[in-house]
Structures are given as C-alpha cells and as structure tokens.
Amino acid sequence: MNARVARAGWALGLWGRRVASSHGEPPPDAVDVAELLRDASSAEEGAQEAVARRPPARCSVLLFPGQGSQAVGMGGGLLGFPRVRQLYETAHRVLGYDLLELCLRGPQEDLDRTVHCQPAVFVASLAAVEKLHYLQPAVIENCVAAAGFSVGEFAALVFAGAMEFSEGLYAVKVRAEAMQEASEAVPSGMLSVLGQRQSNFAFACMEAQEHCKSLGIENPVCQVSNYLFPDCKVISGHLEALQFLRKNSAKYHFRRTKMLPVSGGFHTCLMEPAVEPLVKILDTINIKKPLVAVHSNVSGHKYMHPQHIRKLLGQQVVSPVKWEQTMHCIYKRKKGTEFPSTFEVGPGRQLGSILKSCNGQAWKSYSHVDVMQTSVDPDH
C-alpha cells in the first residue's frame, strides 16, 4: 500500500468514514474520501515505482486470523485506541446484538458459536489494525500484501479498501448464519492432522468414505479442507469418517489428530446450502479493487478485480483453504533477499505458528498485535 493511499485510508479514517456513511453519521474530522482516492489514483504509477524501489525489509504483510482464534476478553486491549469503540458501536447496529459485551464477558460457549465467532473475529481483527496504525503507522503505509484465513479474508478485504466495514460485516453475518444452519443439517466436523512424508491424505479420505458407505451413509464427505503447512492439514466431513481416521491413524502414518471445536465440516460441499445466501448479499455490495494485494483462500493468488473477489468469496465456503500455498506465494523470493515484516492482526497466534512451519526465515520478522491486553507495546 503506497504511503499516499495509506494516509488517505487510515490516518484520515477511510473505512471509518465508510462505516458511518451507511448510517448517516459522519465521524469527527471526516474528509472527502472520494477526492483523496482520486488523488491517490492519479499518483498510482509513481507510487508503484516507489514500491518497487522500497527495500523488502521496509515492507509489511498483514495476516488476519479465522474462526477458532476467538477467546473471551478479546477486544479489551483495544478500546483505548482511536475509532475502535466506533467499530463496535457500528457492529451492534449491523448485528442487532452487543458484540463487544459478548467478546468481553462471554460465556465462551456462546462466543464459540459460528454465528457469533465469525463476526467477533472480523471486528477484533480490524480493531487490531487501528491499534497497529496508532502505534506504528509506517507498517500500514508500507503494507504490500494481506491475507485472511477463511472469514479473515473478509477483514483483509475491508482493510484493503475493497468493501466497506459495515457491508463486509453484514456479509460475514449472513455467511455465519448460513454456515451454522448448514452444519446443523448433517453431523459433521473438522479434524486437524499432523502427518508425515509418507502420509497419503487422499487415500485415507477415500477409505473413510468407503467406511461411511458401509454404514449406510449416502454420498459421504471426507476431504482435505485446510492446507496449513507441509504434512499438516485439516480434514472435514461426516463425523463417522473423522472417527474412522482417528481410530486408524497409525495405518495412515498420522502422528497426531485432534478434533477442532467447530460445528460442521466447513470448506466442503456440506456447506453448499450456505453459498446462495452469501452470493446474494455479495451481489448487493459495491466491491472495489483492493488498494493492496489481497490473496484468495481458493487459489492462493492475489485478487485481480472486483468480480474476481465476488466469485471466489462465494466459492470459498465450499473450497479448501490453501493457506500453505498462500504463504509460499507471498514470501517466495530470490535467495538472499530480505523478508517483509509480518503482523498477525487479531486474536491468537495460530497464523504465526503456521508461518514458522512454512517459512522459518519469514517468521523471524513476525509480530502479533495483541487484542487482549491493555499494554501499548505492540510486541507484548
């Protein structure tokens, strides 16, 4: 993200303004965002040359976590930073319930419900960006890429200016409700699997499906739904299939398996009923070209244009999250080239752990923007 666009978008409250505009309440010190963006666009060619000349070590990458990273108390360390309370007030209006109260007080079982945790992680992540911008504005100005895991992709797109905060949050609300409903229709889940080089995930899934058929289950589902890092994947599908894999883990050379605390087999065809509601709401949103490269979960590559975003966000619900491929795409570089600084913005440090396993050199420049504590030091 070139400095001029970043200043237009963050120092002067670009998406803060977009939030308020949906409700007819311009925030303090509101500016003519359209004029700023026209100015930024007119300077785009020169800005791209400046980015090309910028040393890699001065650049930054932002990673946005997904469902499963939520924890009671998140957001508590962000409320003293500019515009964060405004985000939660807007979320209250969009969602129809007090998201901040749920995040701060819980209970955890309510926060863990798909309908709640997806909006909660989305808002907390963008609030963490406000903290990062306040403490280290150069990180935002020098951002060259962003990626979000599953629902985190929506936060990444809002950060990049591709959609307004309130519209992005409403899309997340619809997505979460549709996925919750789809997960309740079929007993399904997700299994994290740490394998070995000789592990054959496709063969294991095929045998698990055959096991389900022997139990009388029609059209059983069992497939890799998240590519995390080498030899580590998440398998989603019918509960009977996942139980079969756990019982026979030694046969498939799985070193460790763990059921994830989610309500369904996400990122598989079991979520097909959730696609149409999400696509319908995406069709109503004015999606713009991102101001910074945002990478798609479906392909691992960066989005090219607004229609590309609209299409792949709908597909994402039923497609594997290619996170390992995304990490390779973002951090691939010639030997000896420095790596950008990476910031995980939102609850948890899971994406940092995955980055360490995907690219240990890139991980050395990793930091986490805490959403739990009240410290103003972004490194603690």
Enumerate the active-site residues: 150, 267
Burial (CB count <10 Å: 0-12, 13-18, 19+), residue 238: buried
Three-point CA angle 290, 330, 198, nearest 5°: 135
Cβ–Cβ < 8 Å for 192, 258:
yes
3-state helix, strand, coil in the chain (%, to 5): 50, 15, 35
- The residues pairing with 321 across neighbouring beta strands, listed in sequence order, are 226
- The residues pairing with 368 across neighbouring beta strands, listed in sequence order, are 344
Tokens coding 277: 């509601």
Separation CA 269–CA 279 (nearest Å): 15
Cβ–Cβ < 8 Å for 235, 257:
no
How far from each other are the two terminal CA atoms of the chain, in whole angstroms? 26
Q: Could you please report the per-residue DSSP string of 69-102? A: ---TTTTTTTTTSTTHHHHHHHHHHHHSS-HHHH
